[in-house]
Amino acid sequence: MEHEELKTPVEPEGESKPTRKIAVLGSAISSVGLAPYRDPTWEIWACSPANMNIPRAGVWFELHGIEQKKKEGLTEYLQWMARQPFKVYMQSVLPEFPNSVEYPLKHMLEKWGPFWWTSQICYMLALAMEQNPAAIGMYGIDMAANSEYNQQRLACQFFIREILNTGIHLVVPPEADILEPAPLYGYMENSRQWRKYNARIQELKDRVSRLDATIGQSQAERAHLVGALDDIGHMRRHLVGVFLG
């Protein structure tokens, strides 16, 4: 599979060339399977219960609170993580996770400031840059859904920009769309495509509104009929006289 290679580092004269290559994995199915699992020159850094069955990993990240993960019913995942031989970055070292390592949060906040920590991927990319590798790959990272992932996207792209600014070779498969920039605020409204999508959104909203009105009428009619059934049931039980003939 060909990859989109964004920038090749230019090495200063007289300095040794970095050789490490770090693949940072999210769990988006569009490209997580394209990570270089079979290439031993790549380190695999992963996170997420969804990645428990990937072919290999060398470093893991679980920066959520462990008690919260237990409340979410992820006991099996936590047990699996505790059995793994690789390093596991966590909020703090925990005895039940023999290979747990505290993530260097204080250092990262001092270096990058407080604004960019909206996903585990951001923490992973920041730490990967600290290794001064020759290359960083990003797989299984889309952040394209109209949900919390979309809110995490811009901070992730901040670190992508910083990777490029350092001259580290960035590798992203074309199946991932994390490299797509956000539309230009204000200017995007002049785009033919934005107007097309906006018209489609308005059309769908209008159809939903008409259906809501129909549903409201149906619900009112149903309530009326249920009330009528209740009334006539009451009359049948209590007001029907006995004909003695």
Domain map (residue ranges) of the chain: 4-172, 187-238
Q: What is the pLDDT of residue 11?
A: 47
Which value, to the nearest 10 degrees, does the dihedral of the CA atoms of residues 58, 52, 55, 116 take?
A: -50
pLDDT for 243 equals 61
Which pLDDT score is estimated for 18? 86
Find the radius of gyration of the CA atoms of the chain. Answer: 28
Residue-level pLDDT at 60: 98
Both tokens assigned to 35? 């990570």
Which pLDDT score is estimated for 15? 62
DSSP secondary structure letter of residue 48: S
C-alpha to C-alpha distance for 68 and 94, rounded to whole angstroms: 15
Look at 20-29, 120-129, 175-184 and tell me which has the smallest mean pLDDT: 175-184
Residues 191-202 have a mean pLDDT of 91
Tell whether the torsion through CA atoms of 105, 132, 12 and 169 is positive or negative. Answer: negative
Euclidean distance between CA atoms 20 and 131, whole angstroms = 8
Q: Which residues on neighbouring strands pair with residue 172, listed in sequence order?
A: 4
Give the side-chain half-sphere CA count within 13 A for 49: 13
Q: How far apart are the first and last CA of the chain?
A: 93
* Residues 44-66: tens digit of each pLDDT: 999 999 999 999 999 999 999 99
Res 7: pLDDT: 44
**How many CA atoms does the CB half-sphere of 169 hold within 13 Å?**
19
Does domain 4-172 fall under CATH 1.10.357.10? My reply is: no
Predicted pLDDT at 134: 97
